[in-house]
Amino acid sequence: MASSQPAPALPEPAHQPKPQSRFQVIREDPYLEPFEGAIQHRTDRYEKWLDDIRTHEGGVDRFSQGYKSYGLHAQPNGDVRYREWAPNAHTAALVGDFNGWDRAANPMKKDDFGVWECTVPAQNGKPAIPHNSKVKISMTIPSGERIERLPAWATRVVQDVKVSPIYEAVFWNPPESERYVFKNQRPPTPRAPKVYEAHVGISTPEAKIGSYDEFTDNVLPRIKELGYNTIQLMAIMEHAYYASFGYQITSFFAISSRYGTPEQLKRLIDTAHGLGLTVLLDVVHSHASNNSADGLNHFDGSDHQYFHGGGKGRHELWDSRLFNYGHHEVLRFLLSNLRFYMDEYAFDGFRFDGVTSMMYTHHGIGTGFSGGYHEYFGDEKVDEEALVYLMLANTMLHELYPHCLTIAEDVSGMPALCRTVADGGLGFDYRLAMAVPDMWIKLLKDGPGDEGWDMGNICFTLVNRRYREKTIAYCESHDQALVGDKTLAFWLMDKEMYTNMSDLTERTPVIDRGLALHKMIRLITHALGGEGYLNFEGNEFGHPEWLDFPRVGNGESYQYARRQFNLIDDDLLRYKYLYRFDCAMNRAEDEFGWLSSPQAYISLKHEGDKVVVFERGDLLWIFNFHPSSSFSDYRVGTDWAGEYRVVLSSDDAEFGGHARVDKSVRHFTTPMEWNGRKNWLQVYIPSRTVIVLAH
């Protein structure tokens, strides 16, 4: 008989604490918790790729050395072996000067994976394909059409504009006696990168294309003198259209022949290493040129070999092709491309271009990023295959080359971009602070005038960066130097730069304001904006012209495709003042190391006085942006008691200032709270001047 008594109540379950996330970024940022599934899913896909590559290729190290087996390679016995992935091709043959372009002479065989191969036997112990002779792959496709392409892995392509605008591939195999031998070790990884962004072709005052040798001999010493420790070389990967600024790549393994030979680029990098300079390559894996005759597009006659087919494989604004990062052979190609430049040319790392376009299915087109985390996750927004590629690339580079630096060009603010994959991130070392130049240009272009600048907003923009993610700060880059925009110097002084930049002319209010603010904008960006700093060549001395490459619209002129370094060597011109200040700024960072110090404590943002005061790197920084008011005995707070001296003043005569700051004066603190700091001291701070005091 069943009991009529009610069953005893079960005890309440003990509260179980929520298990900690596997990912450090989520443990540190609870706003990421709702998106842990997305982070876990991309990490699972990354780990599956690693497992697949280990199983089928013997690991990432071996997989990413495809450049040693694909393309053309001379063998020890003089044979030349050629391999190419072209799965859609029906037949293939290697043709060139060496066989009279005979399509029947050197046919290729195809394996089960769509890889074609042939060997050209040596002749009398010498390679049958002479060094620097032209080659192509000739293919037929299922429709019966014959197509001819430059080898996708070609390491040298050249252009004879007198004959055709189309590039030709050549077999680069110089004799041992003509091959450059590196002499210098790579320098240690910089404590904090101070990056000089440079383009070899424009690095000469003459209206022409500059060479690797000219850059080595004439520009490298200037970069060293200025105090930069890192060079970012742009437009190195071969691009058929010079005016694309190097962002429409046609041959990924070939360095631009318009500047010189591979051996000359190796000399440039080796010389930079001898000067203690780290060298980064501006790598473009975000898209590829639409060219078919001398690019990857329709390489084997299909629309979807290296790229996605249809609309998914095309960038609307750039008129270029988008890689299929989820394909095994595309990953081999791109990862091997990175290894090639590290191994063959001894680059020290990469600035990845167009990362925003890679990470999102909308490519950033017509999208404004507010910072809400929902914008960074979700299948309809995020290209997870691209994220996984970036995770693979960063992990591979850092594991195989511990000194390697990687920088992401991302405008979106993707969380964990610069955290390791193990932490839940994508693995970059640094991101570019792309909101900072936008702020400065907007202020100078749209106003208000500097008498109305919002000190709080300026400071917020400069320090607004993700926790534990390092940032490269800059107030302008090549983007702001191009026609269609203006450099800071142009926005400040363009009306008078051609008439009043000589010390023999009147120092007008426009020039006086421009010189002062140019220095102050650069230094506050350097000091507050990040853990690294970047400058585009020529901007450091207020280059008087924009940048415009030869094109139909300007009559193919080189007038503006150059950098006039000669201007700083003319002692009568005022450009020298800005150059000297840039040098002093970087040298001071070398001494005091603020870029590798914790983020600044800003004790004062005075909107009426236009004064900003902060502490960073054992230095006390005082900026007076006021256009007319100088302040005597101005009281500022500091946590550090004791004696202070001025170590940098933008008002020094050698920097084009008015010499109103007496740097011999010592300043002493008073132990009393001021602006939230434990002590105060008093300084004279002239209008439109920054002074930096060392404790």
Could you give phi then psi for residue 642, rounded to 5 degrees? 130, -155
pTM for the model stands at 0.95
| Domains recognised in the chain with CATH numbers | 67-175 (2.60.40.10), 194-595 (3.20.20.80), 599-694 (2.60.40.1180)
Q: Does residue 137 contact residue 147 with C-beta atoms inside 8 Å?
A: no
Rounded to an integer, the average pLDDT of 133-149 is 98
Share of the chain above pLDDT 90, in %: 92
pLDDT, tens digit (0-9, with 9 covering 90-100), for 580-623? 999 999 999 999 999 999 999 999 999 999 999 999 999 999 99
Q: Which residue type, as a one-letter code, is found at position 520?
A: M
Strands 134-140 and 146-149: antiparallel
Q: What is the pLDDT of residue 12?
A: 54
Q: What residues pair up with 139 in beta bridges, in sequence order?
A: 92, 147
The residues carrying an active-site annotation are 353, 409
- Which tokens hold the place of 553? 């619209």
Mean pLDDT score, 167-177: 97
pLDDT digits (tens, 9 = 90+) for 349-380: 999 999 999 999 999 998 888 888 999 998 88
Q: What is the pLDDT of residue 40?
A: 97
Residue with tokens 């740097």: 663
Q: What is the percent of the chain with per-residue pLDDT over 70, rounded to a whole number? A: 97
Q: Does residue 10 register a pLDDT over 70?
A: no
Asked whether the beta carbons of 279 and 135 are under 8 A apart, the reply is no
What tokens appear for 200 in the block?
Answer: 């070899």
CB 297 within 8 A of CB 307: yes
- The predicted model gives 417-441 an average pLDDT of 97
Average pLDDT over residues 107-136: 96
pLDDT average, residue stretch 272-299: 97
In the DSSP assignment, the letter for residue 536 is: E
Asked if residue 663 has pLDDT above 50, the reply is yes
Q: pLDDT at position 5, please? A: 44
Query: What are the pLDDT digits (tens) for 541-575?
Result: 999 988 999 999 899 999 999 999 999 999 999 99
Q: What is the mean pLDDT of residues 380-406?
A: 97
pLDDT (0 to 100) of residue 574? 97
Q: What 3-state DSSP class applies to 217? A: helix
Residue type, 351: R
As a whole number, the mean pLDDT across the chain is: 95
Backbone phi and psi for residue 48, each to the nearest 5 degrees, phi listed first = -65, -40
